[in-house]
Structure 1
Amino acid sequence: MDETAALAPAAADARLVVAISSRALFDFEEENRVFEAGGDDRDYMRLQLERLDVPARPGVAFSLVRKLLAFNAGAPRVDVVVLSRNDPVSGMRVFRSAQHYGLPIERGMFSRGSPPWRYLGPLKANLFLSTNEDDVRAALDAGVAAARVATHSRHAAETHPDELRIAFDGDAVLFSDEAERVYQQEGGLAAFQAHEVARSTTPLPPGPFKPLLEALHRLQRAAASGMRVRTALVTARSAPAHERAIRTLMAWQLEVDEAMFLGGLPKGEFLRQFEPDFFFDDQTRHVEHAAGHVPAGHVAAGISNAAR
Structure 2
Amino acid sequence: MAVSLDNKLVVAISSRALFNFEEENAIFESGDPQAYMRLQLERLEQPARPGIAFSLIKKLLAFNDTTAQRVEVVILSRNDPVSGMRIFRSGHANEIKLERGVFTQGRSPFRYLRPLRAHLFLSANADDVREALAAGFPSARVLTESVLAGNNYPNEVRIAFDGDAVLFSDEAERVFQAQGLDAFQAHELSKATQPLPEGPFKPLLAALHRLQQAGTPAMRIRTALVTARSAPAHERAIRTLMQWDIRVDEAMFLGGLAKGEFLREFEPDFFFDDQTGHVDHAARHVPSGHVAAGISNLQR
Aligning the two structures, in what range does the TM-score lie when normalised by the shorter sequence? Answer: over 0.9
CA RMSD of aligned residues (A): 0.8
Task: Assess if the C-alpha contact under 8 Å between 1:278 and 1:297 holds in 2.
Answer: yes
Counterparts of 1:15 and 1:55, CA distance in 2: 28
Task: Assess if the C-alpha contact under 8 Å between 2:76 and 2:102 holds in 1.
Answer: yes
Matched, 1:170 2:143: no
State the TM-score, normalized to the length of structure 1: 0.96
Counterparts of 2:249 and 2:272, CA distance in 1: 16
Counterparts of 2:126 and 2:286, CA distance in 1: 20
Of residues 198, 216, 234 in structure 1, which corresponds to 2:226?
234
The aligned residue for residue 103 of structure 2 is 110
Matched, 1:13 2:6: yes
**Structure 1: which 5+ runs fail to align?**
none
Matched, 1:197 2:202: no
The aligned residue for residue 134 of structure 2 is 141
Counterparts of 2:264 and 2:225, CA distance in 1: 14
Deviations along 1:67-92, one digit per CA (max 9) or x if unpaired, are 00000023100000000001111100
Counterparts of 1:224 and 1:169, CA distance in 2: 27
Deviating above 3 A after TM superposition, structure 1's stretches of 4 or more consecutive aligned residues are: none
Counterparts of 2:257 and 2:82, CA distance in 1: 46
The alpha carbon displacement at 1:199 in A equals: 0.2
Q: Helix, strand or coil for the counterpart of 1:194?
A: helix
Deviations along 1:229-278, one digit per CA (max 9) or x if unpaired, are 00000000000000000000001111000000000000000000000000
Task: Assess if the C-alpha contact under 8 Å between 1:72 and 1:225 holds in 2.
Answer: no
Counterparts of 2:60 and 2:84, CA distance in 1: 21
Task: Assess if the C-alpha contact under 8 Å between 2:27 and 2:33 holds in 1.
Answer: no
Evaluate the alpha carbon distance shift between residue 94 and residue 225 of structure 1 in structure 2; reply closer, same or farther with a 3 A threshold. Answer: farther
Deviations along 1:180-227, one digit per CA (max 9) or x if unpaired, are 000112x11011001000000000000000000000011100112510
Task: Assess if the C-alpha contact under 8 Å between 1:67 and 1:164 holds in 2.
Answer: yes
Of residues 1, 14, 17 in structure 2, which corresponds to 1:24?
17
The alpha carbon displacement at 1:102 in A equals: 1.2
The alpha carbon displacement at 1:9 in A equals: 2.5
The alpha carbon displacement at 1:307 in A equals: 1.2
The aligned residue for residue 245 of structure 2 is 253
The alpha carbon displacement at 1:13 in A equals: 2.5
Task: Assess if the C-alpha contact under 8 Å between 1:83 and 1:116 holds in 2.
Answer: yes
Task: Assess if the C-alpha contact under 8 Å between 1:156 and 1:276 holds in 2.
Answer: yes
Counterparts of 2:50 and 2:292, CA distance in 1: 25
Counterparts of 1:142 and 1:173, CA distance in 2: 15
Q: Helix, strand or coil for the counterpart of 2:26?
A: helix
Counterparts of 1:35 and 1:278, CA distance in 2: 26
Aligned residues: 299
1:286-297 equivalent positions in 2, closer than 5 A? 286-297=278-289
The aligned residue for residue 69 of structure 2 is 76
Task: Assess if the C-alpha contact under 8 Å between 2:143 and 2:289 holds in 1.
Answer: yes
Sequence identity of aligned pairs in percent? 71
Matched, 1:34 2:27: yes
Counterparts of 1:205 and 1:14, CA distance in 2: 25
Counterparts of 1:28 and 1:242, CA distance in 2: 40
Q: Helix, strand or coil for the counterpart of 2:45?
A: coil
Deviations along 1:43-82, one digit per CA (max 9) or x if unpaired, are 1000000000000010000000000000002310000000
State the TM-score, normalized to the length of structure 2: 0.98
**AA matched with 1:9:** V
